[in-house]
Amino acid sequence: MKQDKFDKIDKMLLNMLQQDSRRPLAVLAEKAGLSTSACHRRIKMLEDAGVITGYGADIDRHKAGYPMEFFVEVSLTRLSQGELEEFEKAVAAIPEILQCHLMSGQADYLMRIAARSTLEYESIHRNRLARLPNVARIQSSLSLRTVKTWTGYPI
């Protein structure tokens, strides 16, 4: 299912679920002008097609004890398939790495890491990041303030 295959109701449901996935099905159905069972079928179809991949809670990182957020660029020594896979497998095993993206441009990967303090980040850097396989360069940047948070895709 591609975006151009979404009709007005699919788009409305996706937008409402991105804003608040805990809304009762009856509320979603009413706002979309559907019966509850038709709304359920639509959402199930979007889930089955892989458009909706899961549901979760948005957690305030400050209140959860992670006031610092770092963006880390990593360049590898070589970009062979085996080295990429080895690096990515190691990254997946590190819970402090919240996100990791294979990039185009100067750095090969961009990671997002939350930390309780600069001392904790230093430990993550020294004991986790610096020990990742095939790393040639690591550059870290501290986010001073989030200007715009992600609230969903523009559907």
- Please report the pLDDT score of residue 92 as a whole number: 97
> pLDDT, tens digit, for every residue of 64-114?
999 999 999 999 999 999 999 999 999 999 999 999 999 999 999 999 999
Give the pLDDT mean for 59-63. Answer: 94
- Please report the pLDDT score of residue 2 as a whole number: 60
Claim to verify: residue 102 and residue 41 sit in the same structural domain: no
For a pLDDT cut of 70, what percent of the chain falls above it? 97
Determine which of 3-7, 89-93, 135-139 has the lowest per-residue pLDDT on average: 3-7
pLDDT at 1 over 80: no
Residue 59 covered by a domain = no
List all residues 6 or more positions away from 44 whose beta carbon is below 8 Å from its beta carbon. none
Residue 152 covered by a domain = no
- Please report the pLDDT score of residue 109 as a whole number: 98
Round to whole Å and give the CA distance between 96 and 128: 9
Q: Tell me, what amino acid is at 66?
A: Y
pLDDT at 140 over 90: yes
- Please report the pLDDT score of residue 130 as a whole number: 96
Domain at 111, CATH number = 3.30.70.920
Length of the chain: 155
**pTM confidence score:** 0.85
Residue 62 covered by a domain = no
CB 94 within 8 A of CB 113: no
Which helix (H) or strand (E) segment holds residue 141: the answer is strand 135-142
Residue 108 covered by a domain = yes
Residue 106 covered by a domain = yes
- Please report the pLDDT score of residue 65 as a whole number: 96
- Please report the pLDDT score of residue 151 as a whole number: 87
Tally of domains within the chain: 2
Residue 89 covered by a domain = yes
Round to whole Å and give the CA distance between 48 and 149: 28
Claim to verify: residue 26 and residue 88 sit in the same structural domain: no
**Comparison of pLDDT for 152 and 72, the residue scoring more:** 72
- Please report the pLDDT score of residue 63 as a whole number: 96
Across the chain, mean pLDDT equals: 95
Domain at 43, CATH number = 1.10.10.10
Claim to verify: residue 84 and residue 131 sit in the same structural domain: yes
Domain residues for the domain of 137 are 68-142
Round to whole Å and give the CA distance between 124 and 16: 37
Please write down the HEC assignment for all residues of 64-126. Answer: CCCCEEEEEEEEECCCCHHHHHHHHHHHHCCCCEEEEEECCCCCCEEEEEEECCHHHHHHHHH
